[in-house]
Chains A and B, each alone.
Chain A
Amino acid sequence: NKICPFEQQNKQESFEQPPMYVAVMTYVGYGLVTLFGYFRDFLRAVGLEKCHVAQEREEQKDFTPLYQDFENFYTRNLYMRVRDNWNRPICSLPGPVFDLMERVSDDYNWTFRFTGKSIPNVINMGSYNYLGFAENNADFLKSVADRLQRYGAAVCSTRQETGNLSLHEELEQLVAEFLGVESSMTFGMGFATNSMNIPALVGKGCLIISDELNHTSLILGARLSGATIRVFKHNNMCSLEKMLKEAVCSGQPRTRRPWRKILIMVEGIYSMEGSVVRLPEIIALKEKYKAYLYLDEAHSIGAVGPTGRGVTELFNVNPGDVDVMMGTFTKSFGAAGGYIAGKKELVDYLRSQSHSAVYASAMSPAITEQIIRAIKCITGKDGSTEGIRRIRQLAENTRYFRARLKEMGFIIYGGDESPVVPLLLYMPAKVVAFAREMLARKIGVVVVGFPATPITEARARFCVSAAHTRDMLNQVLHHLNEVGDNLCLKFSRRKHPSRPDPCEETNS
């Protein structure tokens, strides 16, 4: 076996494996819940237990059933018991602290009832608010309010018809300058940016090589395009190279014709793992095999890099080397929508062929103004140093948070620069207990389990924000420490000596 040249592990990324008993207990937990599920289904069928599930109409009872029983087994028996941990409604802005609406259930989560009260000042570790632009300070939002007053809430037309405002052109100019590319185009929804533009770029006879853990929007776009899709192991350059070599040498299956194009799809930061893409290595491979690179920077734009320009800046790579740079404005810019940027030919082609430009409504003017304001703040064009301060604050918060968690003995995934911090919980019961316990201590966390993650790797995911103060982070860490001890969550077997905080040295 040839030694793969990429074998050296990136020292900063860690994906520690838990002790064996954890995996065993996780499977046992799922097995028990499934058994109970069957038992309850039996009770419901026999009539001993009341069935809370909504039923089909009387007039349509003889139609083909809309849902098969086994499709909803998981929803009925597992998800329903614990679904108070998701879809928690809030009644304030999603800043570093927010107010949750209090809701209770009288029948084990089948229905919810709002008590009318709210839980104030819960620390928000779940919203994608990396640079803290989710704010309602009247001064900051003045220009947004002005635009709303002048233009109205929406546009009521598509880009190619009468929806193209001069505001949109200004925004695209700014985005292109910010990223260091020739030109860019913006769309009204981040998810739709992927699902509507990938079919415009590739079609039948093309090959898409996509990372194992790509987001649903990328997978949907790839499927809708009609191209052949192959998947390589997450962030594994050997697997990618092998696939590229095989694709170029063997061509299309059965006919052996050469592929029309090969598109490699990766993300900047993966939202469930927190891992950062290995950009320089992918670019080297792409040049060698003449493939094209599609980089989805939904989580990394604005959040990594010394001036917030994303993974290209983090790795000091020329942005012109990435063929298609895509990103969303929802996370770091506190607005909504997505963009695609690159060479002028690419963007011109998309202006004429993208599904969104032809059929979907244009971006709302107030949202456009928010993004313009955010970009001006980050790049310093509005004359203040607020942008740079936020980026530095985010980097500092990220490093501090990750270091302290590792010291405490939790297993966390991902690179040291990524503000997305997944903390592994593994067992289903612990996931639920963790979320409820943290809420009782007034900290809002996001937990994810199967099917969004592999079945044995349920986790809690923290999103660090520039708006979090050191006190807030310390409070969260203190509670995490206690909860971690109570629930026995500290699975890490690596020794991390507690070192003096480097930030305190520079502050003094």
Chain B
Amino acid sequence: METAPAYHLILEGILILWIIRLLFSKTYKLPETYKLTEKEKEDLIEEWQPEPLVPPVSKEHPAITYDVVTGPPSHKIIINGKECVNFASFNFLGLLDNERVKEKALASLKKYGVGTCGPRGFYGTFDVHLELESRLAAFMKTEEAIIYSYGFATIASAIPAYSKRGDIIFVDEAACFSIQKGLQASRSFIKYFKHNDMEDLERLLKEQELEDQKNPRKARVTRKFIVVEGLYMNTSDVCPLPDLVKLKYKYKVRIFLEESLSFGVLGEHGKGVTEHFGVNMDDIDLISANMENAVASIGGFCCGRSFVIDHQRLSGQGYCFSASLPPMLAAAAIEALNIMEEDPDIFTVLRKKCEHVYSALQGIPSLKVVGVSFAPALHLQLERGSGSRVTDLQRLRSVVDYCLDRNVALTVARYLEKEERFLPPPRLQA
């Protein structure tokens, strides 16, 4: 073998070093002109003007001055100095000024003090909480229940605990704001179906099934949920639960039911929309409700099978990272449950009164009633809107003021205009 001449070796050596340099250098170099000098940076910092932290709010904005309530917000309420019959609070069963409830809350206050000073994981679990959870589970005839310290946070923490990026959720258009926030936090695909329209939902489910058949591997790990409310906050009507259960088994989706308005209102014993329709509780995967309406306390709960609920104890954000419910409010809720169990007649009384009010409100010129006859919260909408939301709201406000002068308290239903996905038209809430 002949030895290579010297210039071959030198050339190959240079080539190897060049290759090594290319391997370790950046793939491209930013041309020097793109880099800013220090002086230019200072100028940019000088010139930049951010927007003000908050845009100015006009003084006439209806939401700045609140109506001030002095005294307890019970059946007779003193708003802005006038005593009125209260048609505006969600105190459906009248448990807000029930003496037994107050007594139990006082006893709990004397024993435990006011706050819990810690989240559930760090000595914030009291025996009252455990008792309330077991009582709720027994009342709803499910395996387990979990309590949150704020009603809004309940469904907003429950949905993201189960549904993650890549999962699919089918939601009714009239879903309330806390459900919308839960959906946003979950980062899943959201598909809206028309309010209470089962055919629209079935169409969406069929489309999804076709998609799944094209990609079975992905479909095997994509979870699918339907989120509906028992009694819708925004439209005061009921969801068709038996049809939903049929769809559930046909297309293999899980149902999350939000019963804030219907818990303690619908059904023979106040167990909500499942009792109202006679649906088996086990068919619903998760029932979530807040205790701030019929139960006249603060907080919320979710109930269902242990398989489903136990997961939230480690992954429900509003549960793990927030202080637990103050014990006196939990004791008030337990006593409210006691009253509900002892005396199921109050639900019949409530229903009769609702029907009475509903029929009495029919036939008012230029206002139409939105909602079912047994719903405790009704909406009164203008028959013919003027086209401008602001003028409609002003007219409704003048109706409210008129009623306040005659000692009846109503309220304009409040929505955040820019944030709601499907904005309901302006209306009064009664």
| CB <8 Å contact, B305 and A93 | no
| CB <8 Å contact, B112 and A93 | yes
Residues from chain A with Cβ under 8 Å of B305 in the complex:
54, 57
Residues of chain B from 45 to 82 with CB closer than 8 A to chain A in the complex? 45, 48-57, 61, 63-64, 66-74, 77, 79
B329 within 8 A of A: yes
Residues from chain A with Cβ under 8 Å of B71 in the complex:
150-151
| CB <8 Å contact, B50 and A259 | yes
One digit per residue, 1 when the CB lies within 8 angstroms of any chain A CB and 0 when it does not, for chain B 404-420 equals 00000101001110010
Cα A355 to Cα B429 with chains together (Å): 18
A160 within 8 A of B: yes
| CB <8 Å contact, B50 and A336 | no
| CB <8 Å contact, A349 and B122 | no
Cα A349 to Cα B54 with chains together (Å): 7
| CB <8 Å contact, B317 and A216 | yes
The closest CB in chain B to the CB of A207 belongs to B50
Decide yes or no: A75 and B314 within 8 Å by CB, A148-B105, A335-B115, A345-B54 being known contacts.
Answer: yes
| CB <8 Å contact, A87 and B117 | no
A134 within 8 A of B: yes
One digit per residue, 1 when the CB lies within 8 angstroms of any chain A CB and 0 when it does not, for chain B 94-133 equals 0011000110011001111111111011111111011000
B338 within 8 A of A: no
| CB <8 Å contact, A160 and B123 | no
B209 within 8 A of A: no
The closest CB in chain A to the CB of B323 belongs to A330
B351 within 8 A of A: no
One digit per residue, 1 when the CB lies within 8 angstroms of any chain A CB and 0 when it does not, for chain B 183-211 equals 01100000000000000000000000000
Q: Which of B96, B120, B308, B411 is close to A152, meaning CB atoms less than 8 Å apart?
A: B96
The closest CB in chain A to the CB of B415 belongs to A358
| CB <8 Å contact, A334 and B224 | no
| CB <8 Å contact, A149 and B70 | no
B91 within 8 A of A: yes
One digit per residue, 1 when the CB lies within 8 angstroms of any chain B CB and 0 when it does not, for chain A 40-75 equals 000000000000001111011011111110000001
| CB <8 Å contact, A190 and B113 | no
Cα A89 to Cα B126 with chains together (Å): 5
One digit per residue, 1 when the CB lies within 8 angstroms of any chain A CB and 0 when it does not, for chain B 23-64 equals 000000000000010001100110011111111110001011
B162 within 8 A of A: yes
| CB <8 Å contact, A93 and B102 | no
A161 within 8 A of B: yes
What distance in Å separates the Cβ of A72 from its nearest Cβ neighbour in chain B? 8
Residues from chain B with Cβ under 8 Å of A331 in the complex:
117
B246 within 8 A of A: no
| CB <8 Å contact, A165 and B70 | yes
Decide yes or no: A349 and B55 within 8 Å by CB, A188-B298, A259-B50, A359-B178 being known contacts.
Answer: yes
Residues of chain A from 78 to 114 with CB closer than 8 A to chain B in the complex? 79, 86-95, 98, 101
Selecting from B146-154, B265-273, B357-365, B387-395, the interface stretch reads: B146-154
Residues from chain B with Cβ under 8 Å of A328 in the complex:
323
Residues of chain A from 146 to 162 with CB closer than 8 A to chain B in the complex? 148-162
What distance in Å separates the Cβ of A191 from its nearest Cβ neighbour in chain B? 4
| CB <8 Å contact, B57 and A162 | no
| Most B CB within 10 A of own CB, among A91, A148, A153, A165 | A153
Residues from chain A with Cβ under 8 Å of B127 in the complex:
89-91, 101
Residues from chain B with Cβ under 8 Å of A220 in the complex:
185, 317
A245 within 8 A of B: yes
Cα A290 to Cα B46 with chains together (Å): 9
| CB <8 Å contact, B123 and A162 | no
| CB <8 Å contact, B152 and A360 | yes
| CB <8 Å contact, B109 and A366 | yes
Cα A164 to Cα B326 with chains together (Å): 21
B18 within 8 A of A: no
| CB <8 Å contact, B109 and A136 | yes
B90 within 8 A of A: yes
| Most A CB within 10 A of own CB, among B50, B86, B219, B307 | B50
What distance in Å separates the Cβ of A456 from its nearest Cβ neighbour in chain B? 21
One digit per residue, 1 when the CB lies within 8 angstroms of any chain B CB and 0 when it does not, for chain A 253-295 equals 0000011111000000000000000000000000011111000
| CB <8 Å contact, B323 and A248 | no
B398 within 8 A of A: no
Number of A-B contacts (CB under 8 A): 348
Interface residues on B, range: 35 or more
| CB <8 Å contact, B409 and A446 | no
| CB <8 Å contact, B90 and A156 | yes
Residues from chain B with Cβ under 8 Å of A352 in the complex:
57, 61, 63-64
Residues from chain A with Cβ under 8 Å of B130 in the complex:
89
Decide yes or no: A248 and B63 within 8 Å by CB, A87-B121, A152-B101, A154-B332 being known contacts.
Answer: no
The closest CB in chain A to the CB of B122 belongs to A446
| CB <8 Å contact, B111 and A188 | no
| CB <8 Å contact, A154 and B54 | no
B341 within 8 A of A: no
Residues from chain A with Cβ under 8 Å of B222 in the complex:
64
What distance in Å separates the Cβ of B335 from its nearest Cβ neighbour in chain A? 9
B292 within 8 A of A: yes
| CB <8 Å contact, B114 and A335 | yes
Decide yes or no: A353 and B223 within 8 Å by CB, A217-B321, A336-B326 being known contacts.
Answer: no
| CB <8 Å contact, A224 and B185 | yes
Residues from chain A with Cβ under 8 Å of B308 in the complex:
66
Cα A357 to Cα B57 with chains together (Å): 16
Residues from chain A with Cβ under 8 Å of B325 in the complex:
336
Decide yes or no: A370 and B88 within 8 Å by CB, A64-B224, A90-B125 being known contacts.
Answer: no
One digit per residue, 1 when the CB lies within 8 angstroms of any chain B CB and 0 when it does not, for chain A 120-137 equals 000010111100011110
| CB <8 Å contact, A361 and B151 | yes
Residues from chain A with Cβ under 8 Å of B307 in the complex:
54-57, 66
What distance in Å separates the Cβ of A199 from its nearest Cβ neighbour in chain B? 8
Q: Which of B66, B292, B296 is close to A164, meaning CB atoms less than 8 Å apart?
A: B66
The closest CB in chain A to the CB of B224 belongs to A64
| CB <8 Å contact, B41 and A245 | yes
Q: Which of B74, B123, B178 is close to A90, meaning CB atoms less than 8 Å apart?
A: B123
Q: Which of B72, B111, B223 is close to A151, meaning CB atoms less than 8 Å apart?
A: B72
| CB <8 Å contact, B48 and A248 | yes
| CB <8 Å contact, B79 and A162 | yes
| CB <8 Å contact, B153 and A191 | yes
B427 within 8 A of A: no
A-B residue pairs in contact (CB < 8 Å), sample of 6: A98-B123, A127-B118, A134-B117, A148-B109, A161-B88, A191-B318
Please list the 7 inter-chain residue pairs (A to B) with the smallest Cβ-Cβ separation, ordered nearest first: A189-B150, A191-B322, A352-B63, A349-B54, A164-B66, A153-B332, A360-B152
Besides A86-B121, A348-B64, 16 other A-B contacts (C-beta < 8 A): A127-B117, A150-B71, A153-B96, A156-B296, A157-B88, A162-B89, A163-B89, A201-B53, A217-B322, A248-B48, A290-B45, A329-B115, A330-B117, A335-B326, A353-B416, A364-B326
- Chain A interface (Cβ < 8 Å from any Cβ of B): 54-57, 59-60, 62-68, 75, 79, 86-95, 98, 101, 124, 126-129, 133-136, 138, 141, 144-145, 148-166, 169, 188-192, 195-196, 199, 201, 215-217, 220, 223-224, 245, 248-249, 258-262, 288-292, 323-324, 328-331, 333-336, 345-346, 348-353, 355-361, 364-367, 370, 444, 446
